[in-house]
Amino acid sequence: MSTTVAEFTPQGYKTDEHPIWCPGCGDFGVLDSLYKSLAGLKVDPKDLVVVSGIGCSGRTPGFIRSYGFHSVHGRVLPVALGVKLANPALHVIGVGGDGDGFAIGGGHIPHAARRNPDMIYIVMDNSTYGLTKGQYSPTSPTGFQAGSTPYGNIEQPLNPLAMLIAYGATFVGQGYSGKPKELSDLITKAMEHKGFGFLNVISPCITFYNTYKVIPPRLAEIPKDHDPANRVKAFELALQTDHLRLGIFYQVRQPTFEEGVAEVIKKAQASSRPRLDEIFANFS
C-alpha cells in the first residue's frame, strides 16, 4: 500500500469504491476535503487508518486508500484509540455522524477528550439520522419535524463544540461541507495538532433535512482577535449560537495519551518490582 511523493494527489487517495450517498449530500464535501488535506500533508496510505461507525458517514473508510475499520454503532473512538495505542506511528482518523457520536457513542467522547490521544475525530453533523430515514438526532433543533417527531422535537439540541471544550479536547474546530477549501485547511491544522482534534462539520442531508438554504446566511468566521488558547473565551464563543462560527475555537498543547503510556512503560522497565509473569509463575 506504500506510495511515492509523485502520487500524493487528491486523486491518489481515491479507491475504486464509488460513494453511494445521495447526490448533493454534504459528506461528499467532507470526503473531498479529506483527500486534499491528506495529499497536502503527504500522508502515506500505509501509515493511515480511517475508523468509522454506523450511518451514512460510516462508509467513508471504503472511499479512502488507507487501512480502514467500519466499526459498530457509536464505537468509533474506542476502536480508533486501540489502533493508535497499538501503533502510535499511525495517522488515525475517526469519522462519524451526530447520531453515532452523540447518542449511542456519547459516553466515549469525554474519555477520548480527557485522554488526549494524537488523532482526529470528524463528526459529519446533519442533525438527523439520514441512514434510517430522517429521525431526529441529538443535534436536531427544537421543533424539528420528522417521522419520529411528527409534532416537532421537544428536546434541546446538544452543543458539540461546547461539550468538547468542557471535556478537555485540546483542539476543537468547526467547518462546513459547502466550503471544501476552508474545511481542508481546518482538517490539515487538526492533523498537525499534537493531541485529540475534534472537528464538527456541518454537513447537510439533502434528502431528510435539507439545510442548504438556511445554513449559509448563518455562517460566520471566528473573530480574528479570538485567542484559541483561552478556554473560557472559547467556551463563550461556542455558546453563541446565533451564528455558526467556522474555524478553530480552542487549541492547546498538552501531553498525549501515547506519551503518557510510553513514560509508564519506561518506568516499568526500570522498576525493580517483579513482572506480572514472574508473579503468576509463583502460583503455578
pLDDT for 205 equals: 96
Residue 108 φ/ψ region, left for φ over 0, alpha for ψ in the -120 to 50 degree band, beta for the rest: alpha
Res. 5: pLDDT tops 50: no
Res. 255: pLDDT tops 70: yes
Cell 463563550 sits on residue:
236
pLDDT for 4 equals: 54
pLDDT for 281 equals: 76
Average pLDDT over residues 26-45: 97
pLDDT band at 284 (very low <50, low <70, confident <90, very high): low
Q: Which CATH code for domain 5-254? A: 3.40.50.970
- Which cell goes with 222? 471566528
Res. 277: pLDDT tops 80: no
The average confidence (pLDDT) of the chain is: 94
Domain ranges of the chain: 5-254
End-to-end CA distance of the chain: 45
Whole-model pTM?
Answer: 0.93
pLDDT band at 165 (very low <50, low <70, confident <90, very high): very high
- Which cell goes with 209? 433535512
176 Cβ neighbours under 8 A, 6+ residues apart: 182, 183, 201, 202, 215, 219, 244, 246
pLDDT for 99 equals: 93
For 207-254, how does the pLDDT look when each residue is reduced to its tens digit (9 = 90+)? 999 999 999 999 999 999 999 999 999 999 999 999 999 999 999 999
pLDDT band at 282 (very low <50, low <70, confident <90, very high): confident
Res. 278: pLDDT tops 80: no
pLDDT band at 272 (very low <50, low <70, confident <90, very high): confident
What's the half-sphere exposure (Cβ side, CA atoms, 13 Å) at 157? Answer: 21
For 173-188, how does the pLDDT look when each residue is reduced to its tens digit (9 = 90+)? 999 999 999 999 999 9
For 82-104, how does the pLDDT look when each residue is reduced to its tens digit (9 = 90+)? 999 999 999 999 999 999 999 99
95 Cβ neighbours under 8 A, 6+ residues apart: 30, 50, 51, 52, 53, 57, 58, 60, 61, 76, 121, 122, 123, 124
